[in-house]
């Protein structure tokens, strides 16, 4: 079983703050790295699918970077809003079918 | 409206009983997965199936069984051999696109 670490475990920020989380994964046999957002009482939804070293993705105020050589990815949220409150999961894959999930970072944005 | 459905949402089981969790998808995806979530832990893979009539064990398959008789359906049976079955179970499917997974709403199983 591969080890995927996410930090911090939880985060409380004020509306308007910018924040970032880390996902650490093995630096070998990389296939893809996924970020998911999991809101309470909903299903996890994919935010980003990252496949290349140096890959950078952006969706509105949220962006992610990837360093496969050193085994980490950062997720950034600029100007956090209450609707960003959710658990953010990362998943490291070494092939199409086998993904290992971190335990998530739970973000709470206070109005 | 494409998606994944799981039923039931909540399930209570007495010790020693087998129970089956349903998972259906209409996304036309070949691959389907079952994950288990326990408090403070990441999702752990129980079983996956790449194609009809074929499935593979994940990291925590002991005490579980699956079938894949139709592309749309991937039911999970939690048997009495599973020592600690109380958990939240998520089903997912994947088509193309580097394994991006689409999840159902989950089933919370409680053993009484």
What is the tens place of the pLDDT at every residue in A14-67? 999 999 999 999 988 999 999 999 999 999 999 999 998 888 999 999 999 999
A36 contacts in B (CB within 8 Å)?
101
If one compares A2 and B107, the residue with the highest pLDDT of the two is B107
Q: Is the pLDDT of residue B101 over 90?
A: yes
Q: Is A39 touching B (CB cutoff 8 A)?
A: no
Residue-wise pLDDT tens digits, B59-90:
999 999 999 999 999 999 999 989 899 999 99
Q: Is the pLDDT of residue A1 over 70?
A: no
Task: Summarize the confidence of residues B37-52 as an average pLDDT.
Answer: 93
Closest CA to A33 of A18, A47, A19: A47
Question: What is the distance in angstroms between the Cα of B59 and the nearest Cα belonging to chain A?
Answer: 7
- Is the CB of A49 less than 8 angstroms away from the CB of B42? no
What is each CA distance from B106 to A75, A83, B21, B103, in whole angstroms?
Answer: 25, 22, 10, 8
Please tell me the number of Cα atoms within 13 Å of A53 on its side-chain side: 9
Q: Of all residues in chain A, what percent carry a pLDDT higher than 70?
A: 99
């Amino acid at each position: 079983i591969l080890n995927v670490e996410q930090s911090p475990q939880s985060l409380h920020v004020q509306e308007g703050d910018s924040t970032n989380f880390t996902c650490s994964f093995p630096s070998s046999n990389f296939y893809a790295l996924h970020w998911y957002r999991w809101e309470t009482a909903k299903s996890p939804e994919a935010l980003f699918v990252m496949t290349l070293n140096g890959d950078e993705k952006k969706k509105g105020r949220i962006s992610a970077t990837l360093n496969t050589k050193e085994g980490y990815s950062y997720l950034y949220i600029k100007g956090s809003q209450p609707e960003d409150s959710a658990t953010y999961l990362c998943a490291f894959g070494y092939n199409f079918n086998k993904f290992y999930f971190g335990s998530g970072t739970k973000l709470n944005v206070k109005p | 409206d494409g998606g994944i459905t799981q039923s039931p949402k909540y399930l209570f089981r007495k010790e020693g009983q087998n129970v089956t969790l349903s998972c259906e998808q209409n996304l036309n995806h070949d691959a389907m997965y079952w994950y288990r979530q326990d408090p403070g832990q990441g999702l752990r893979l129980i079983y996956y199936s790449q194609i009809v009539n074929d499935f593979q064990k994940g990291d925590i398959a002991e005490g579980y069984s699956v079938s894949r008789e139709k592309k749309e359906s991937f039911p999970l049976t939690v048997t009495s051999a599973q020592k600690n079955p109380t958990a939240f179970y998520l089903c997912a499917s994947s088509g193309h696109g580097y394994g991006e997974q689409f999840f159902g709403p989950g089933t919370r199983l409680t053993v009484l």
